Structure 1
Amino acid sequence: MIPAYIPNPAAALLGGGTPVDFGRCAKDGRRILGDGKTWRGLIGGIIVGIIFGLVQIFLVDCFQLDFLPKHTLVTIFSLAAGALLGDMIKSYFKRRMGKDRGAKWPIADMYDMVVGSLVLMTLALLVTGNIGWFAENFDSAGFFIATLIAILILSPLLHRGTNIIGYLLGLKDVPW
């Protein structure tokens, strides 16, 4: 999940500039995504996620770290892009619910990137005909379920921790 966990903090660090929604509003009169989702953050976050994924591929290959998944370019790109797409989809629905930028939405805020990254990766593996990647990297259903449970436990902790750090560094207006 490293290529999925890195893009959101990287986007916050590298973001700014033109919003992805170009400042447009939806039919309800609210912004489509808001000023917090920028092209610079989106592209920068994806690139940083890919770089961390490439480093992970290198480390797994060089040091024979068999306990880590053997990522491919498809998996690292889709994890990185899916994390930010999941965050943008969540932001779209937050705006529809009348929630302002930075407003708490606990469950959605913690798992948007997990859902987005895993859904996009699964779709990418289906489209490329490499759905067997799951079987190659998770040798049993029990190991796959244990991995999902670990992701469900670690994601909120990492989300909260990175947000607190971003807040302390002045990159975020709120620590959640």
Structure 2
Amino acid sequence: MTSGFQELLSRDAALLAVLGAANFLPILGRALLGERLGAPVDLGRRFRDGRPVFGDHKTWRGLALAVAGGAAVGGLTPFGRGGGALLAALSMAGDLAASFAKRRMGLEGGHPVPLLDHTLESLVPLLFVRRGAGLGWIETAVLVGAFAGAARLFSPVLHRLRLRRRPA
């Protein structure tokens, strides 16, 4: 392997590691802490359609754990703690956007929607850092696919381990 290819592979692995930590730690936090510190991000408010804005499964605890986890893993990568925290925050913004869309469709929290689940939480941060990280459009699409595929692969495992309420 050439060193250039190794650098690309290393960068892509670092991006996926930060996004993975940001998306796994809220699940682990709920499993370990139950409902403690689980205030919903939307504070129980409803949108004009009468449905929850995001739902009670999107919590401040989850957001905090995601950003802290992204910063911790980012600190082990060339992106640094700040870059990891930013990637994680953008991932959670994508996740909240997906939840908002699902609530508008009348779906409950955790209800799987294959093309929506795991796509925005990787696409939003990758689009934001694409140029600075030197990602091409095809590579961005491959990373979104890899993230979504890994999430779909691990979701049933996390459900069997009772870390997820239902598989995605």
TM class by smaller structure? 0.7 to 0.9
- Residue 51 of structure 1 corresponds to which residue in structure 2? 72
1-side partners of 2:48 and 2:79: how far apart?
A: 41
Unpaired segments of 5 or more residues in structure 1?
57-69, 123-130
Structure 2 match to 1:14? 29
In the other structure, the counterpart of 1:103 is: 111
What SS class does the counterpart of residue 76 from structure 2 fall into? helix
Determine if contact 2:91/2:121 at 8 Å carries over to the other structure: yes
2:59 equivalent in structure 1: 38
Q: 2:93 aligns with which of 76, 85, 94?
A: 85
CA distance in 1 between counterparts of 2:92 and 2:70 reads 10
Structure 1 residues 157 and 28: CA distance shift in structure 2, 3 A:
same
Q: In 1, distance between residues paired with 2:102 and 2:109?
A: 8
Match of 2:122 in 1: 114
2:139 is matched with 147
Calculate the TM-score normalised by the size of structure 2.
0.78
- CA distance in structure 2 between the aligned counterparts of 1:85 and 1:44, rounded to whole angstroms: 14
Q: Which of structures 1 and 2 has the bigger CA Rg?
A: 1
| Over 6 Å off, 4+ runs | none
Sequence identity percentage: 27
CA RMSD of aligned residues (A): 2.0
Note if contact 2:73-2:81 (Cα within 8 Å) is conserved in structure 1. no
Unaligned 5+ segments in structure 2 are 1-14
Query: Could you tell me which amino acid in structure 2 is paired with residue 26 of structure 1?
Result: F
Cα shift readout 1:80-116 (whole Å, capped 9, x = no counterpart) = 1111110011101110110111212111103111122
Offset at residue 45 of structure 1 (A): 1.3
> What is aligned with 1:4?
19
Question: How many Å separate the matches in 1 of 2:120 and 2:28?
Answer: 19
* TM-score (norm. length: structure 1): 0.74
Greater displacement, 97-106 / 164-173: 164-173
**Contact residue 40 and residue 57 of structure 2 kept, 8 A:** yes
Deviations 1:32-90 (A, max 9, x none): 1111101111101110111011022xxxxxxxxxxxxx324443222111111100111
Structure 2 counterpart of 1:126: none
Shift in alpha-carbon separation, 1:159–1:44, aligned structure 2, 3 A: same
Specify whether residues 28 and 149 from structure 1 end up closer, same or farther in structure 2 by C-alpha distance, changes over 3 A only.
closer
Letter in 2 for 1:157: G
